[in-house]
A and B are shown apart, each in its own frame.
Chain A
Amino acid sequence: MQRRDFLRQGGGAGAMAALVAAGWWPAMAGAAEWNRVAFEAKKFEDVLKALGGADAKASGDVVLVAPEIAENGAVVPLQISSRSPATDMLAVLVEKNPNMLAAVFEVPDGTVADFQTRVKMAQTSNVFVLARSGGRYLYAVKEIKVTLGGCGG
């Protein structure tokens, strides 16, 4: 390698580092890049894998509170929580939606692993709550019946 080339490449890397340090580079702007692979996955196993897990165990420590029957699939209120200490991630998956994964919450120390949000459901479906605790993946599942779908056109 010529010294000139080396300097050019080195300069490039330096400029990149400066961008990162200054917070200009998007990946460093506070949030991780949107996990496209996970959000486009069609199967539970594929979502799990995209979120870094190999296998998940059903666990009573993970809790989904939701209506048995959702009258309006466009707005289904959910409460998801994990009693497992050291839970650092909670995710919601709607099995029969075109893309299963609805939301992923990263849980820093000091934040309670207990969230309320609202999701769309295309039809009656199993809803999974997936938690990561101490590197293990745990889940709870519950069927929610939908009388009026929320993703129609």
Chain B
Amino acid sequence: MANPMKVRAVVDGDAVQVKALMSHVMETGRRTNDKGETIPAHFIQQVTVTHNGRVVLSAQWGTSVSANPFLSFRFRGGTKGETVKVTWVDSKGDSRTDEATIT
């Protein structure tokens, strides 16, 4: 089971600022361990952010995104008390969804 991510959603002028810090190894598949064996690739491929069921961001990532990925962006149309959901799916099919209340 993947570790939870930290999600914050804060009203910023006419938009809502979303910040997400995910917990993921983001292995490239190019590194080797102490025994010289290749560590298999394992990285987040898709990120989806929804607000009231509406997709406000969908992203695809490759192996170049840093470990424990950080993402920040803004969308319009959200107000305090509503919920923002962030979901990621990785290259092994694992996924994780966390949410935050807009403040």
Contacts and interface: CB of A to CB of B under 8 A. Distances in A.
Partners in one complex: yes
Interface string A67-100: 0000000111100000000000000101001110
A106 B59 contact: yes
Given A34-B46, A34-B60, A151-B28, A111 B74 contact: yes
Given A30-B55, A31-B46, A111 B62 contact: no
B30 interface: yes
A119 B65 contact: yes
Contacts, number: 112
Interface residues of B, number: 33
A102 B65 contact: yes
Contacts of B28: 98, 120, 151
Contact of A110 (B61, B72, B76): B76
Contacts of B54: 108
Given A106-B58, A108-B57, A112-B75, A74 B63 contact: no
Contact of B73 (A112, A118, A121, A152): A112
A115 B18 CA distance: 10
B89 interface: yes
Interface string A110-138: 11101111111100000000000000000
Interface of B: 15, 26, 28, 30-32, 45-46, 48, 54-67, 69-77, 89
Interface of A: 30-32, 34-35, 39, 74-77, 92, 94, 97-99, 101-108, 110-112, 114-121, 150-153
